[in-house]
Amino acid sequence: MTNNAAKLALIVACVTLAAVTLAAAPEKTSTSAQIVALDECDPLTFNAALGNDFCKNVALAPLGFATTLQDLFAKAAAGRPDQGWDFEPDTLKVKEGGTLFVSDQGGEPHTFTEVKQFGGGFIEGLNAGDRVVPECVGGFSTLDVAKTRIIQGRQTQVTGLSKGIHHFQCCIHPWMRVTVEVK
């Protein structure tokens, strides 16, 4: 074999090996997943109604990225809730025994509450007529709801999920929803 032919054979072998490796790679399901809660609360109108420091100034309100408290309620009542309030991603897969790391990167508190079926939260005016789901009843006066609260800038973890489909929603802004498949 000439030197060039040997080099060519080596390159072909490497490319073939890479292709086989890629084809054989199984579908990847992680042992942990990152979820973020986002919102665009307008500090001026939220804090005037809900108290100082309720909404932190992370929405770049002066640049037009914030939603006033009045608009948030108006959009929800019209059945077109503000999509700036969101969990990302909306769907994900983790391995059994895995951990969900959920952080609140918005300006106000949220909850990450497991529910049997998606539905309304504990603030009637944000529910667009949906009934409050049993898991959210009573709001933060219910320990099980309070335990799922995530304060602005903080993180919570969910572990020990059984195999199957799990639904999580915010008990304040019920259109914030995540579906987790545990494999």
Residues that bind Cu ion (CB under 5 A): 110, 170, 172-173, 176
Our CB check for Cu ion shows the closer of 75 and 110 to be 110
> What does the DSSP 8-state code read for residue 149?
E
Our CB check for Cu ion shows the closer of 38 and 182 to be 38
Q: How far is the CB of 46 from Cu ion (least distance, A)?
A: 12
Our CB check for Cu ion shows the closer of 94 and 169 to be 169
| DSSP string covering 41-56 | B-HHHHHHHH-TTSS-
CA-derived radius of gyration, the chain: 23
Our CB check for Cu ion shows the closer of 100 and 172 to be 172
Q: How far is the CB of 148 from Cu ion (least distance, A)?
A: 11
- Decide: 167 and 115 in contact? Cβ < 8 Å: yes
Beta bridge partners, 181, equal 93, 165
Q: How far is the CB of 94 from Cu ion (least distance, A)?
A: 22
Our CB check for Cu ion shows the closer of 93 and 118 to be 118
The CB density around residue 166, as the number of other CB atoms within 10 Å, is 18
Q: How far is the CB of 170 from Cu ion (least distance, A)?
A: 3
**Separation between Cα atoms, residue 106 and residue 171, nearest integer Å:** 15
Q: How far is the CB of 91 from Cu ion (least distance, A)?
A: 18
**Separation between Cα atoms, residue 179 and residue 87, nearest integer Å:** 10
**Separation between Cα atoms, residue 98 and residue 107, nearest integer Å:** 28
